[in-house]
Structure 1
Amino acid sequence: MMHSESRKVDTVELVKDYLKNPIFRDATLIQSEILKCIRKVLDEKGFVELLPVTVSPITDPLNHPHFETEFEYYGQKYSITKSMILHKQVAVLVHKKIYIVSPNVRLETEDKMESGRHLFDFVQIDMEMLNASREDVFEVMEDAIIYTIEKIKEKYPDIIKKYHPDLKTPKKPFKRYTVKELKEKYGDNYEKLASLNATEPFWMIDIPLLEREFYDKQDPNRPDVLLDFDLIYPEGFEEAISGGEREHEYEQILKRMKLKNTPFEQFEEYLKVAKEGLLEHSAGCGIGIERFTRWLLALDHVEKTRLFAKTPGKHSI
């Protein structure tokens, strides 16, 4: 079962742990600085910060097992936001460069409990740019990551020395490897092994067509792959960022939805916008704040990066 007795949380003991364990104080300081630094870089590059959408009739269908979070309100079905991916495609028609400090709720299955990387209630900075390529996204996010690491090492040297003394500031451009290259080198467990063998973050590009959702753009010249990417942290910390270029043409979106067996009625309003030809080409990504914190402090689990963390399969407060 998802919620067994052994996974219950003793609230009093948890609060005592917050008070006596310096990890929580240190991690939340670093996390606060991460938010300030990424915001600064995006603001200086002309991005407009928008407010998050926490509930919506449409949200990311996701590409892996999870529980739905639907409810009905005055006859309208809503879901709690799994990501703002579809909203970002519309938002860039208002402002060409946007970002959101976005809470996401993904009720993933309990097999994710021990991964060290998963919370079912987490925050990412979502960014999107109109008429942009994934190369443009790489440029922005590499600058944001490098600036953030430099500032944190400057402002909190004692904390970094305590948790991750050999933390390196990566250099631009980050290396890039296709999924095909990594599979040939490492086999089926390619992401984990490539991360363990890396000393700096790297971009994993050209995701196979069926491994992502309908909104990610199919490469017109190589239809078996997507113009997608993940940023992978080194030292075994794995996925940091996920993103890509977006499908915006109505017929292509329908084709991709059929391929993924995605029900049209679930995205009726989104499809109306696409059919009117209102969507335009864009690219963007989301960077998980808890995972960034975890890597910077070399922590064994994202639970230690924030107060009131919620891990798949566990009770929480």
Structure 2
Amino acid sequence: LEKKYGSGWEEVVSKEISDPVWVTNIPREFYDFEDFKTGKWDNYDLFMPQFGEILSGAKREWEYEKILKKIERDNVNKSNYRLVLKLAKEEKLKPTAGGGIGIERLVAWISGVKHIAETQPFPRVPGTVHEL
């Protein structure tokens, strides 16, 4: 999709669709599982028309050599992932997968608000503290 639509493909796709669309096999973060034999990624996103992604998930890499190779390929700072690399090297990581739904994104899409901040019970603005 990035080759076809450019780096802003997510916005382009969500503007072009008229129904929800599942997007799978997306090259993403180094920790998403990538089958080096087939070049496929085990991940997904759900895009809503005129809005964007509201749901995302993936199988995770767990093998040390694969994680290390992808960190180096993607020019990621290894020191930020020391613990993950240590656990993978010790074979303490197991195959896992996860997914999540952006509740505020879903509410924004359903209610048709222009900005996700309108769905948040407490605004999240860097450097701002809201006392209860």
Decide which structure has the larger Cα Rg and report it. Answer: 1
Q: Give 2:117's aligned residue.
A: 303
Aligned-pair identity (%): 37
Residue in 2 that maps onto 1:273: 87
Amino acid at match of 1:282: T
Using the TM superposition, give the Cα deviation of residue 315 of structure 1 relative to its aligned residue in structure 2, in angstroms: 5.2
* Distance (Å, rounded) in 2 between the aligned partners of 1:284 and 1:295: 23
* Residues 1:283 and 2:102 aligned together: no
Question: Which residue pairs with 2:69 in the alignment?
Answer: 255
Cα distance change on mapping 1:311 and 1:198 into 2, 3 Å: farther
What is the TM-score with the length of structure 1 in the denominator?
0.37
Partner of 2:35 in structure 1?
219
Q: Within 2, Cα distance between the matches of 1:214 and 1:194?
A: 23
Q: How far 1:308 moved relative to its partner?
A: 2.0
Counterpart of 1:239 in 2: which secondary structure? strand
User: How many angstroms apart in 2 are the aligned matches of 1:259 and 1:289?
Assistant: 33
**Greater share of helix:** 1
CA shift, 1:311, in A, is 4.6
Q: Tell me how many residue pairs correspond in the alignment.
A: 129
Distance 1:271 1:256 in 2: 12
Match of 2:22 in 1: 203
- Cα separation, partners in 2 of 1:315 and 1:269, compared to 1, 3 Å: closer
| C-alpha distance 197-263 of structure 1, shift in aligned 2 (>3 A) | closer
CA distance in structure 2 between the aligned counterparts of 1:217 and 1:241, rounded to whole angstroms: 17
- Post-superposition offset of 1:288: 1.0
Residues 59-78 of structure 1: matches in 2 within 5 Å? none
Structure 1 vs Structure 2 CA RMSD = 2.3
Q: Which runs of 5+ in 1 are unaligned?
A: 1-178
Q: Which has the higher contact order (CA 8 A, sep 6+)?
A: 1
User: Could you tell me how far 1:257 is from its partner in structure 2?
Assistant: 1.2
Partner Cα distance (1:316, 1:239) in 2: 28
Distance 1:268 1:195 in 2: 36
Tell me the alpha carbon deviations over residues 12-35 of structure 1, each in whole angstroms, 9 at most, x when there is no partner.
xxxxxxxxxxxxxxxxxxxxxxxx
